[in-house]
Structure 1
Amino acid sequence: MTPFGARVRALRAARGMTLNELAARLTVSPAYLSALEHGRRGRPQPGLVMQVCGALDLIWDEAETLKALAAVSAPRVTLNTGGLSPLATELANRLAARLSHLDDDTLAALLETVRDAPDRPR
């Protein structure tokens, strides 16, 4: 499941809305919406994200949060480490190989480290 999908599902549940009801409001199939929630579809397009915000009647800060989650919800990610240090390449490869074996606490610690890293020009 993607961060976007998990949030949409939680918002839907909080509003007592079924998957079929939200799909009808968005004029998409329930199968598509389910696949989007579960991360079996690519990152949602901005227009669909805005439709979801409207269908769920989100206030602006909730909508901004959902848009930000959509931006980090590509279920298939490709990393290009060309031109980076050997450490970056090793990290990317080891992470790809071990990601499914990491528990939530470890993932949260890694995510916090990456979120807190300063932006540096290449």
Structure 2
Amino acid sequence: MTPFGTRLRQLREAHGVSQAGLAAALHVSPAYLSALEHGHRGRPSPGLIHQVNEYFGLIWDDAEEMVRLARVSHPRVVLDTAGLSPEATALANRLAQEIRRLPPEAIAALSRTLDTVLPPGG
């Protein structure tokens, strides 16, 4: 799953809306919406994010959070390490090979470590 897909599902369930109902309201197929929620589709378009925000009445910080979540929700990430150190390339390759085996607490710890060195958006 992706951060955007997880939040979309939470919103939909909290409002008691079925996937088919939300898909119809957003003018997308239920299959697309399911794939988006499960992380099998790439980032949603800005237009779709806007539609989701309007449908659920999200404004200000909540709407911006949906935009941020969409930005970090591409399920197939490519890292370009050209011009970086051999250590950076090795780290990127190791992470690509091992990420599926990392438990949630290890992922959270790695994220916190990155946040202390490079604050998000920085």
TM-score range, shorter chain: over 0.9
Q: Which runs of 5+ in 1 are unaligned?
A: none
Residue 24 of structure 2 aligns with an amino acid whose one-letter code is A
- Go from structure 1 to structure 2 and tell me whether the alpha carbon gap of 1:114 and 1:44 turns closer, same or farther (over 3 Å shift): same
State the 1:5 CA deviation.
0.1
- Does the residue aligned with 2:112 lie in a helix, a strand or coil? helix
Residue identity (%): 57
State the 1:97 CA deviation.
0.4
Q: Which runs of 5+ in 2 are unaligned?
A: none
State the 1:61 CA deviation.
1.3
Cα distance in 1, alignment partners of residues 117 and 44 from structure 2: 26
Alpha-carbon deviations, 1:1-28, whole Å to 9, x = none?
Answer: 0000000000111111111111111000
Residue 105 of structure 2 aligns with an amino acid whose one-letter code is D
Cα distance in 1, alignment partners of residues 116 and 68 from structure 2: 16
Alignment of structure 1 residues 41-60 onto 2, 5 Å = 41-60=41-60
Alignment of structure 1 residues 87-98 onto 2, 5 Å = 87-98=87-98
Residue of structure 1 equivalent to 2:21: 21
Structure 1-normalised TM-score? 0.93
Residue of structure 1 equivalent to 2:3: 3
Residue 53 of structure 2 aligns with an amino acid whose one-letter code is C
Q: Does 2:114 align with 1:114? A: yes
Cα RMSD after superposing both structures: 1.1
Cα distance in 2, alignment partners of residues 35 and 116 from structure 1: 33
Structure 2-normalised TM-score? 0.93
Cα distance in 2, alignment partners of residues 55 and 116 from structure 1: 36
**Deviates further, 27-36 or 109-118:** 109-118
